Amino acid sequence: MTTQALMEALNSADERWLCETEERLKLRPARLRRKKLGYALLIAAALVFLLGCAAVLGHMRAEVPQNGLHYTVEDAGRVQNIDLPDTAMVVRVDCEAQGRLPALRFGWLPEGVPEPGVTAGINYSILQLLEDGSELELYPGWKARPLDTLLAEAGMTAEEAGRWYFGHHCEKVNSALLEIRAYDCCSIHGRDLLLGMDGGTAELVAEGTRGEYEMLEIRVDYTSFYEASDHPCPAAEYVKNYLFLFEPQEQYLLFLGGSDSDYSFETLEKIADNLEVRLTGLTLGPTTARWPLVDLDLGRG
């Protein structure tokens, strides 16, 4: 509903309410005018509140694709069509193409979740990112630059960079997954963030604000996907919870996802509330990648 249509509906309701009140209570004209003014002010205040909320949440939105998603991608000189008819939900973030690389420190993690840096597998420290450079290939010329130069631009020593992270991913023995990532807007600008890319049903559980962040909470049930495939997974892992937090001033996105069996939204919120975020001095420019989507599914494929 547009603002104009909403105002017309409110005015119409206001007139009907006044007519009924005048007829039933036989109010005097002067009192009726005061009543009308007070009622109109309440309506106006409510409208300002609603429009204000819409403005606050204007950078991030979640949508259920009605007819699937279709992309035409030019990659390495080759054009290909990508059809994703079963995607459960897509999240879109409106932000500038440039930004700074965000780094994280974890103040609280659930019992049994190993601290970052001691987990077998991928090391998500800023130091490892700058040393390895695999993800930095997205940014022209980064990988060829000396580590000392990158650390100086980040505003970190090597020791500091080893204690700050751009993410954390862990998998318990029972296959319960947890992923925490910080995305600069350059990495997600103009891209669709996909949940349930191959199937499942999605529910927007909550939207609003949390502190300085715009917030979305989404639950995806992958039962139909797993039952139709040979992908092994315990039944307790069929449902995933996803928390999105976008900081509109500094323009970065926090993504937290976990299996519903171990990581409720309350748990994800507590992790997020205890995150320390530091924007490095590494300024990111437009990437060379032209891929129009980011797959955020946990533990799939």
pLDDT in tens, the chain (301 residues): 433 443 344 344 333 333 333 343 333 333 334 344 454 444 444 444 443 333 345 899 999 999 999 999 887 778 889 999 999 999 999 998 777 889 999 999 998 888 887 655 578 899 988 887 655 555 555 666 788 988 998 999 999 999 999 999 887 655 578 999 999 888 888 899 999 998 899 999 999 999 999 999 999 999 888 888 777 677 777 899 999 999 999 999 999 999 998 999 999 999 999 999 999 988 766 655 568 999 998 865 4
Q: What is the structure's pLDDT at 287?
A: 59
Q: What is the structure's pLDDT at 250?
A: 93
Burial class for 83, CB neighbours closer than 10 Å (0-12, 13-18, 19+): exposed
CB contact burial 56-76 (16+ within 10 A = b; e otherwise): ebebbebeebeeebeeeeeee
pTM: 0.78
CB 36 within 8 A of CB 27: no
Show Cβ contacts of residue 276 under 8 Å, excluding neighbours closer than 6 positions. 104, 105, 106, 107
Q: What is the structure's pLDDT at 50?
A: 40
Q: What is the structure's pLDDT at 226?
A: 82
Q: What's the Cα-to-Cα distance from 218 to each of 72, 138, 165, 226, 255, rounded to whole Å?
A: 27, 29, 24, 19, 11
Q: What is the structure's pLDDT at 291?
A: 80
Cα distance between residue 193 and residue 295, in whole Å = 6
Cα distance between residue 43 and residue 86, in whole Å = 41
Quickly tell me which residue has 């049903």 as its tokens. Answer: 201
> Under the phi-then-psi rule, with left for phi > 0, alpha for psi from -120 to 50, and beta for the rest, what region is 199?
left
User: What HEC string does 78-129 produce?
Assistant: EEEEEEECCCCEEEEECCCCCEEEEEEEECCCCCCCCCCCCCCCCCCEHHHH
Q: What is the structure's pLDDT at 54?
A: 36
Cα distance between residue 184 and residue 138, in whole Å = 13
Q: What is the structure's pLDDT at 194?
A: 96
Q: What is the structure's pLDDT at 277?
A: 98
Q: What is the structure's pLDDT at 143?
A: 65
Q: What is the structure's pLDDT at 172?
A: 64
